């Protein structure tokens, strides 16, 4: 594997999940693998889990870590070819990517969707700019369209808690006051397509995700119907994709409640707005897996870094 940009960069999800679970039992087993190696984390957006879990994963492997809040502290990057840089941008991605490649062995990047221009977001200019001009492996720590470290952690969490016989997983949209990107939902859908499970996506009309990603998935606009007999309910807000970045409504009836959840286990990538996305009773109850999902972010990052180190 050259880079980890999407969940589809994984050659075998079941094998990776199994290996991650073994690593979780003995996180320092490969502590010499990353000796004299450096990981650089560039954040163009805020983070709690991604930043700390990726650093923790690197520490388990003996990798040195450098972190920069590029969005707040770095030079404003230019991506255009042949641009006369006499306006707001200070440094071209070409130089930035080459320079960073000299300082580290693996580069991880977080750069969210702006949600103003679909074409620009889908071009993933920051992530792909570094992929194009850097000479080292790149890890996607959530880009405009994908959050593959989260999806891998979610796959580990599902494997740890799945019932032996059958599996029904529901991805449910939930209300939120702000316009949120599609990255987590996109990667979760892609990951679920690699699972042996019944998978249903439920959302109000107008919140259809990219049909290229949901192609072949069951979509049900009646949330109650979708939730019937669910084993896992993954809740996430996203803004409109067709009317790009718009928030049509914040219909509180879509909030996840204990009554709706029934016996299913609750999943969310965090951070989550309590009593808007999901009620307290669910988050504080025994069926919530959110803290375990966050813990598994470390082992998802660790297996990705291990694979990249092995192929350096």
Chain residues binding ligand CP by CB under 6 A are 47-50, 142, 150, 269-271
Q: Which is nearer to ligand CP, 184 or 200 (CB)?
A: 184
In this structure, the strands spanning 91-92 and 77-78 are: parallel
Residue 92 annotated as lining a ligand binding site: no
Q: Which is nearer to ligand CP, 271 or 285 (CB)?
A: 271
Q: Which is nearer to ligand CP, 50 or 145 (CB)?
A: 50
Q: Which is nearer to ligand CP, 92 or 157 (CB)?
A: 157
In this structure, the strands spanning 91-92 and 106-110 are: unpaired
Residue 29 annotated as lining a ligand binding site: no
Q: Which is nearer to ligand CP, 108 or 192 (CB)?
A: 108
CB of 146 to ligand CP, least distance (A): 12
Q: Which is nearer to ligand CP, 53 or 168 (CB)?
A: 53
Residue 48 annotated as lining a ligand binding site: yes
CB of 41 to ligand CP, least distance (A): 11
CB of 269 to ligand CP, least distance (A): 4
Residue 148 annotated as lining a ligand binding site: yes
Q: What region, left, alpha or beta, does residue 54 occupy, with left being phi > 0 and alpha being psi -120 to 50 degrees?
A: alpha
State the residue number with the nearest CB to ligand CP: 50
Residue 49 annotated as lining a ligand binding site: yes
Residue 147 annotated as lining a ligand binding site: yes
CB of 111 to ligand CP, least distance (A): 12
Residue 142 annotated as lining a ligand binding site: yes
The two structure tokens encoding residue 189 = 């859908």
CA distances from 195 to 43, 131, 138, 162, 212 (A): 31, 28, 25, 11, 18
How far is it, in rounded angstroms, from Cα 174 to Cα 178?
A: 12
CB of 157 to ligand CP, least distance (A): 12
CB of 50 to ligand CP, least distance (A): 3
Which residues line the annotated binding site for carbamoyl phosphate? 47-50, 75, 110, 147-150, 269-270, 297
Which residues line the annotated binding site for N(2)-succinyl-L-ornithine? 142, 176, 236, 273
């Amino acid at each position: 594997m050259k880079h980890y940009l999407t969940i589809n960069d994984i050659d075998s999800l079941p094998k990776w999940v199994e290996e991650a679970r073994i690593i979780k039992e003995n996180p320092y087993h490969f502590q010499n693998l990353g000796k004299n190696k450096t990981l650089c984390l560039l954040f163009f957006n805020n983070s709690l889990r991604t930043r700390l879990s990726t650093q923790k994963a690197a520490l388990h492997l003996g990798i040195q870590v450098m972190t920069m809040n590029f969005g707040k502290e770095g030079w404003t990057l230019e991506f255009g070819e042949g641009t006369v840089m006499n306006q707001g941008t200070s440094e071209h991605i070409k130089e930035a990517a080459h320079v960073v490649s000299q300082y580290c062995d693996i580069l991880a990047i977080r750069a969210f969707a702006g949600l103003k221009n679909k074409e620009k977001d889908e071009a993933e200019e920051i992530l792909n700019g570094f992929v194009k001009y850097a000479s080292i492996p790149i890890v996607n720590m959530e880009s405009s369209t994908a959050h593959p470290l989260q999806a891998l952690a979610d796959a580990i969490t599902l494997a740890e808690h799945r019932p032996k016989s059958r599996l029904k997983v529901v991805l449910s949209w939930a209300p939120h006051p702000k316009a949120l990107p599609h990255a987590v939902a996109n990667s979760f859908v892609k990951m679920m397509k690699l699972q042996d499970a019944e998978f249903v996506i439920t959302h109000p009309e107008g919140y259809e995700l990219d049909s290229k990603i949901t192609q072949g998935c069951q979509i049900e606009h009646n949330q109650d119907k979708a939730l019937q007999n669910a084993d896992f309910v993954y809740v996430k807000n996203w803004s409109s994709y067709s009317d790009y970045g718009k928030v049509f409504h914040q219909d509180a009836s879509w909030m996840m409640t204990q009554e709706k959840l029934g016996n299913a286990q609750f999943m969310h990538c965090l951070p989550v707005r309590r009593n808007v996305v999901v009620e307290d009773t669910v988050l504080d109850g025994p069926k919530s897996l959110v803290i375990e999902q966050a813990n598994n972010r470390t082992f998802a990052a660790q297996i990705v870094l291990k694979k990249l180190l092995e192929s350096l």
